[in-house]
Structure 1
Amino acid sequence: MATSPPPDASAATPRHRGWRIARNVALGVLATIVAVWLVLYITKGRFLKRPFESIAARLTQRQVSVGGDFQLYFAPWRIKFYAERLRIANPAWATQPYLFAADRIDSRIAPLSLLWGKRRFHSLDLTNGAVDLEWDAGHRHNSWTFGEPQKGGKPLDLPRIDRATVAGTTVRYRDPRMRLLADLRIDTIRSTGARIGDAVGVNGGGQLRDTPFTVAARLLSPDATVARGRNELVLRARAAGNVIDVAGTLPSIAAIENVPLAVRARGRNMADLLGVIGVAIPNTRAYRLRAQLVQSGQEYRFTRMAGTFGDSDVAGRLTVTNGERLHLDSRLETKRLDIVDAAPFIGYNPDIVATSGAVAAAAATGAAPQRILPDAALPVATMQRFDADLTWRIGALQSRRLPISDIDLTLALDRGRLALSPLTFAMARGNVAADAVFDTRQRPSAVRYDIRLAPTPMGRLLAGYGVAEAGTSGTIRGRIQLSGRGDTIHDSLATSNGRIAFVMPAGTLWTRNVELSELDIGTFVQKMFENELKEPVTINCGLVAFTVRGGVAATDPILIDTTKNVILGRGGFSFRTEAVDLAIRADSKRFSLFSGQSPVGIAGSFADPGLRVISPQLLARAGAGLGLAVVATPVAGLLAFIDPGDAKAAQCGPVLGARTAAAQRTDKGEPRKDVGDGRTVETAPKRKKFLGIF
């Protein structure tokens, strides 16, 4: 029977030798570790103080120093790091010398967390610590990001801390781009076993864009941090008369980004609130707002926003982007906007409007006495520091006299150029579309207004002023195009040039309105006794137009043709002084007895216009009639009040086309000589003044 050969001893020896070598190396490494551990444990690693400063300085590219005792060793399996008067320098551009300084730091660090970059502290005992966190002027680098400068600044990433004892610690934060400086004090935290306590407090204040503020915050469930659970944060800040409350649940003490926070704000003026971050909006009355805030990088998104300002409501969303230029993007909705709350949009203080009226509000802006155009200057410097996009839908404007609803406003602010385009709304079953541009990049600001009124029923439009709709079927449409220079509404209009025109196509109007304007006494009295005051009068066509030169508007023309008469107007008004001097007269197309046939004067100012029913021309005619009665017979005196009925009807083509006075014609095609030349005494050659001013 054959036998197998014995194993090759020479082949087995290297294998056993390899195992022995590996075992010996492992034992040697273990012995070395034990020896190092033992040396460190016995010496507490104090001899590593200078190597630690050198290595830390090389890794961070900052000066690192320990001014007192130093310990670095395993105790027994966690790394103990202890240092007295530890200092870590700031970069050269920072305003403070040290990023971090503490009288004493005593910590236990999980070794494996350092390998994975997680930096977990099992415990931290910090005494009189001071942290200085800064961004550079270009917002490219920060003081807490170590390494090469070209890497740029990274978000702040604090280590995980299971248990902490903190006393006398402060945090300073500076962001030149936001113009923010905050100095905060952390209340003393003392652990009991694994429990931190009921709350951790942070108090302090600072300055945001030249506005001082105070802040008080509490972490209501800090023990949850031990288990990496839910941390309830509440914070209250006060600035410029505003109170801001923030509440939310954080995954850890330092985790703010992408965490939904509930925000509430209240104050006397929303303009003061946004003024804190350098954003200019019109003044408001007292407001209350709530929203959900989520911060993501440079964006601060306010969603589910709802609240009130004055007697009006508002809802929507707002995104604030703190980039190279501050940018606001907002979508708002309002169900009901009180007209007093709308007053700030043209420069009025709403509180003054509510208590004292528009004239007092205009005076508060610097306007002359008895003026209503505000003289409040645009915040030019602020408008050039931030950009904005806004859409705002308003259901109805709450007003006794202005039937306005369905307002849609689109606003764009780009480096000082503010455009309201378009602004649309419904008024008296008609629609208005407007565009306005305020270009503050030109000095003074270049301003353009373009307001278009779609065909609108006059009865509904004038109903708020006591005119009944019954018997009035006429409509009106128009356009206002003006351009001027100035940093206030008053200045932009006082220097404006352009045209204002309102056209009335064929329709009907109360007879009473026509007769009162012409003072046709005979016909008016006759109809009054016949109870025919609401008998409609047919309007063939009508035009009320003004040419504006240098802020002075002259009739160009006022011409209304009806079946019975032709209504003409002369004069104008001034945006400079807000003076009004108009004369309206009606020439009858038929013979009428007792016709005053003299102009009705509209004079005074925008704030206080007056109706002069008995004009100087009428008084002069009355004097002539009295003279005739004396030298002839009483019947002859009546001749001065007889209207022969020779008014020339208008050709409606130029009227409906809103043409100037020079283009107007009679129904026979002849040029009209009774509609003026579209100039006032300020813009025309020297001539006798019309009604004292024009």
Structure 2
Amino acid sequence: MKRLLPNSLNLPSNWQDLRERALVPAGARVRGWRDWVVENDPVYGSFRRPGRTEKIAASVTLLLILAVVIFLMLFNWNWLRGPIGRWASAKYDREIALQGDLDVNLFSWTPSVVVRDLKFGGPDWAREEDTANVERIEASVRLRKLFAGQIEMPLLSITRPNVVLISTEDGRQSWELEPDKPDTGEGMKFPLINQLIIQDGRVSLDAQDRDITLEAAVTAREAASANDGESGFLLTGEGSINGSPLTLRIEGGPFINIRRDRPYAFEATLAGARSRLVAEGAITRPFDLGRFTSTLSLQGQDLNDLYLLTGVTLPNTPPYRLSGALTRDDAVWTFNDFSGRVGSSDLSGDVKVDAGERLNVEAQLTSRLLDIDDLMAILGADTRTNEAGTNTTTVASGSGPGMLLPDATLQVDRLRTMDGTLTYRAAAVKANDLDIRQVNLGAVLEGGILDLDPVSFVFNRGELNGTAKINATRDMPYSAIDFRLAGYPLESIIPAQGGVAPITGRALGRARLEGPGNSIHRFAAASKGSISLVVPQGEMRAAFAELLGINASAGLLKLLSGDQSRSSIRCGVADFEVTGGVARAKTFVIDTDVVLAQGTGSINLGTETLDLKIDGESKRPRLLRLWTPIHVRGQLSSPSVGVETGSVVAQAGLTGLLASVVAPVAALFAFVEPGLAEDANCGSLIANAR
């Protein structure tokens, strides 16, 4: 094998060229510069051949250094307690005092300081409570690392610290040293501590903005022996949140021989507000609390409860169980690849929270199979999920017995605290009465204004698509909705009897409403706009078509004989104008091949009641026709259908009069329908309604 070495060592010729062209001239220049310095530089010469002046200067310098060293050795550091306290008090606008002895040891490779009886007062608005009182603090720093621009503390020992943290409803925090500085959301960063000792620590929290109180004990110690299981960091606390119990436990390993490149493991459990959060992970760079990774498991009765614990506004939901990867990178928190169940529906996705100057949340959520009742909880419905988590039912979705529209109050103040975006898609939906098959939702929240776009429900046949906007910048939110229904089957509204649908066809509709209200029910009760429903064509059982015109002879005979023949629906149009939550019929027409029915009346969206009157005219002669309108009244959830008995009695009276004056056969004329009704102009009616 040929060896590639220079000269006798057979190095390649390009190395020889490099040596001759670059290295040899460079060496010669360095030697020339050295020789010049030796011969001409006065500083170098004075060091090699010091004169009387140089000797005097060196002696004075040494004496000064020696004097400083002796001064520092004999200096009483307690003399600096007052100046240090006054300087810190002025800088942080609170009383700060070193009330005990101050000891400093500078002459070591690990200089140290001991502070006794430190008082750290509260701000002006919380002067009755000191932010911190510490009996003793001992800290040392590694000098070699300090010269390299790094702070590394071999020891930090804190004895009996008592810390009181207060936050007010208007956002003030007693521990904030620079309240005027914008909150970037970054975590606290401490220098590397090789050994941390905390003895008998106490932490009190009074978070008035979230109605949280907590009393916690803090310890950090090394193991006294190999079998000592109490080594490491431990914080345990109990308190209350919104009047219910709160517990907190944070555990970590011992603080000994910690390095920057070795993650520090921890486990944290927080239980309260009907929720339980468990995180197991590691701080990637001790002691940079702004960066860590963990596995987070959370469960509870309602995701909305987590606002009290996290400050993130979430919708109302049934009970939930979720687990995923939680990561923090300063102000950015991510909850990725999580999965679990909300109610009886599966839920997975990614959530990103930027806790910078203004909270911003981005969420992408999906469900493989959605229970539509779980979605109703978001709208404020009262739902129940069984213990197995396999089925959710809506118990009461309205503001009272028989009411349909949810009346849960929208928490507008929470919507103002953050911005965000949301996408949600349910690939499939469990069997339901509305025959919904897929759901697709999108939302953007910015500056207190929530835009829902799209709001899309795909049925077995047909779709409901629309948008909604909620302006929560005012105490009473103002909302606007625009929903379109396309191709929804009428047989899904009126169930089949005996295997045969009494009415078939496709419905088109649109609802455009706006108005104030902090719940769906209150919004509907004060809304204005329009509601329209159109059936371009279809079929209905002939008996029912005849009865629209109260054609007793034809309708009852067909009904009693079990006749299943069909009548065509030329069109059906219901167009309502809404004012003050009351929808009044502008156009109400049902046109079949045998009867033309026209209606009047109103629907009260506040009380959820209707009062409609339908007058039918036959297009064909009928013998027995009752000259009375049909009334549809009562609750929207359970309307009643009847006839006006007064008109029937009057018609019967007319029959008696004819029978007494003329002849019995002539009396039948009071019940005869000549059949003069004409077809409605369906094209014009449909165009106007749309």
Give the structure-2-normalised TM-score.
0.77
Alignment correspondent of 1:550: 580
2:398 is the alignment partner of 1:362: yes
Relative to structure 1, the CA distance from residue 281 to residue 219 in structure 2 (aligned partners, 3 Å threshold; closer, same or farther) is closer
- 1:489 CA drift (Å): 3.0
2:632 is the alignment partner of 1:602: yes
Q: For 2:670, which of 640, 663, 671 is the aligned residue?
A: 640
Does the CA-based 8 Å contact 1:74-1:80 persist in structure 2? Answer: no
Cα deviation per residue 1:565-608 (whole Å; 9 max; x = unaligned)? 21222222222433322233432212223344643321122233
Relative to structure 1, the CA distance from residue 578 to residue 523 in structure 2 (aligned partners, 3 Å threshold; closer, same or farther) is same
Alignment correspondent of 1:329: 362
Give the Cα–Cα distance (whole angstroms) in 2 for the partners of residues 33 and 325 of structure 1.
Answer: 55
Give the Cα–Cα distance (whole angstroms) in 2 for the partners of residues 192 and 221 of structure 1.
Answer: 11
2:618 is the alignment partner of 1:582: no
Cα deviation per residue 1:600-658 (whole Å; 9 max; x = unaligned)? 32112223311216754345434544555566655444433322111121122312213
Moved more, 402-411 or 623-632: 623-632
Which SS does the other structure have where 2:573 is aligned? strand
Alignment correspondent of 1:394: 426
Alignment correspondent of 2:382: 349
Relative to structure 1, the CA distance from residue 339 to residue 321 in structure 2 (aligned partners, 3 Å threshold; closer, same or farther) is same
AA paired with 2:347?
V
AA paired with 1:412?
V
Which SS does the other structure have where 1:474 is aligned? strand
Matches within 5 A, 1:667-686: none
Alignment correspondent of 1:476: 507
Relative to structure 1, the CA distance from residue 595 to residue 279 in structure 2 (aligned partners, 3 Å threshold; closer, same or farther) is farther
Does the CA-based 8 Å contact 1:305-1:316 persist in structure 2? Answer: yes
Q: For 2:412, which of 380, 386, 407 is the aligned residue?
A: 380
2:118 is the alignment partner of 1:82: no
Give the Cα–Cα distance (whole angstroms) in 1 for the partners of residues 160 and 358 of structure 2.
Answer: 38
Give the Cα–Cα distance (whole angstroms) in 2 for the partners of residues 470 and 55 of structure 1.
Answer: 88
Does the CA-based 8 Å contact 1:509-1:537 persist in structure 2? Answer: yes
Relative to structure 1, the CA distance from residue 355 to residue 592 in structure 2 (aligned partners, 3 Å threshold; closer, same or farther) is same
Give the Cα–Cα distance (whole angstroms) in 2 for the partners of residues 639 and 183 of structure 1.
Answer: 90
Task: Tell me the percent identity.
Answer: 24
Alignment correspondent of 1:113: 145
- 1:151 CA drift (Å): 13
Does the CA-based 8 Å contact 1:373-1:490 persist in structure 2? Answer: yes
Cα deviation per residue 1:402-450 (whole Å; 9 max; x = unaligned)? 0123222222333443332331222341121222233344564433232
AA paired with 1:263?
L
Moved more, 302-311 or 522-531: 522-531
Q: For 1:453, which of 485, 489, 492 is the aligned residue?
A: 485
Unaligned runs of 5+ in 1: 1-9, 661-694
Give the Cα–Cα distance (whole angstroms) in 2 for the partners of residues 504 and 78 of structure 1.
Answer: 87
Does the CA-based 8 Å contact 1:561-1:650 persist in structure 2? Answer: yes
Does the CA-based 8 Å contact 1:571-1:582 persist in structure 2? Answer: yes
Q: For 2:349, which of 316, 324, 338 is the aligned residue?
A: 316
Relative to structure 1, the CA distance from residue 432 to residue 94 in structure 2 (aligned partners, 3 Å threshold; closer, same or farther) is same
- 1:233 CA drift (Å): 0.6
Which SS does the other structure have where 2:287 is aligned? coil
Alignment correspondent of 1:258: 291
Matches within 5 A, 1:463-542: 464=495, 466=497, 474-524=505-555, 527=558, 532-533=563-564, 535-542=565-572
2:333 is the alignment partner of 1:297: no
Give the Cα–Cα distance (whole angstroms) in 2 for the partners of residues 45 and 173 of structure 1.
Answer: 43
- 1:457 CA drift (Å): 3.5
- 1:202 CA drift (Å): 1.1
Cα deviation per residue 1:537-571 (whole Å; 9 max; x = unaligned)? 23323312222233322322221223222122222
- 1:218 CA drift (Å): 0.4
Cα deviation per residue 1:38-84 (whole Å; 9 max; x = unaligned)? 969xx976634435875797699576636226241435x43243343
Alignment correspondent of 2:27: none
Alignment correspondent of 2:272: 239
Does the CA-based 8 Å contact 1:211-1:276 persist in structure 2? Answer: no
Give the Cα–Cα distance (whole angstroms) in 2 for the partners of residues 123 and 243 of structure 1.
Answer: 35
Cα deviation per residue 1:66-125 (whole Å; 9 max; x = unaligned)? 6226241435x4324334335577887885887765333344432122223422222344
Give the Cα–Cα distance (whole angstroms) in 1 for the partners of residues 260 and 512 of structure 2.
Answer: 68
2:194 is the alignment partner of 1:162: yes
Give the Cα–Cα distance (whole angstroms) in 1 for the partners of residues 419 and 536 of structure 2.
Answer: 43
Alignment correspondent of 2:599: 569
Q: How many residues align?
A: 639
Does the CA-based 8 Å contact 1:388-1:413 persist in structure 2? Answer: yes
Give the Cα–Cα distance (whole angstroms) in 2 for the partners of residues 167 and 82 of structure 1.
Answer: 15
Does the CA-based 8 Å contact 1:505-1:542 persist in structure 2? Answer: yes
Give the Cα–Cα distance (whole angstroms) in 2 for the partners of residues 135 and 357 of structure 1.
Answer: 39
Relative to structure 1, the CA distance from residue 458 to residue 219 in structure 2 (aligned partners, 3 Å threshold; closer, same or farther) is same
- 1:225 CA drift (Å): 2.5
2:319 is the alignment partner of 1:286: yes
Give the Cα–Cα distance (whole angstroms) in 1 for the partners of residues 264 and 474 of structure 2.
Answer: 52
Which SS does the other structure have where 1:50 is aligned? helix
Give the Cα–Cα distance (whole angstroms) in 2 for the partners of residues 33 and 516 of structure 1.
Answer: 117
Does the CA-based 8 Å contact 1:142-1:153 persist in structure 2? Answer: no
- 1:28 CA drift (Å): 7.8
Cα deviation per residue 1:447-506 (whole Å; 9 max; x = unaligned)? 3232211233434x3364659677966322121222333333333323333222222223
**Cα RMSD over matched residues?**
4.7
Give the Cα–Cα distance (whole angstroms) in 2 for the partners of residues 375 and 575 of structure 1.
Answer: 13
Give the Cα–Cα distance (whole angstroms) in 1 for the partners of residues 449 and 99 of structure 2.
Answer: 55
- 1:302 CA drift (Å): 2.2
Give the Cα–Cα distance (whole angstroms) in 1 for the partners of residues 50 and 562 of structure 2.
Answer: 129
Give the Cα–Cα distance (whole angstroms) in 1 for the partners of residues 183 and 421 of structure 2.
Answer: 33
Which SS does the other structure have where 1:168 is aligned? strand
Alignment correspondent of 1:435: 467
- 1:219 CA drift (Å): 0.5
Matches within 5 A, 1:202-241: 202-204=235-237, 213-220=246-253, 222-223=255-256, 225=258, 229-241=262-274
Unaligned runs of 5+ in 2: 1-37
Alignment correspondent of 1:560: 590
- 1:163 CA drift (Å): 2.6
Relative to structure 1, the CA distance from residue 499 to residue 65 in structure 2 (aligned partners, 3 Å threshold; closer, same or farther) is closer
Give the Cα–Cα distance (whole angstroms) in 2 for the partners of residues 196 and 37 of structure 1.
Answer: 48
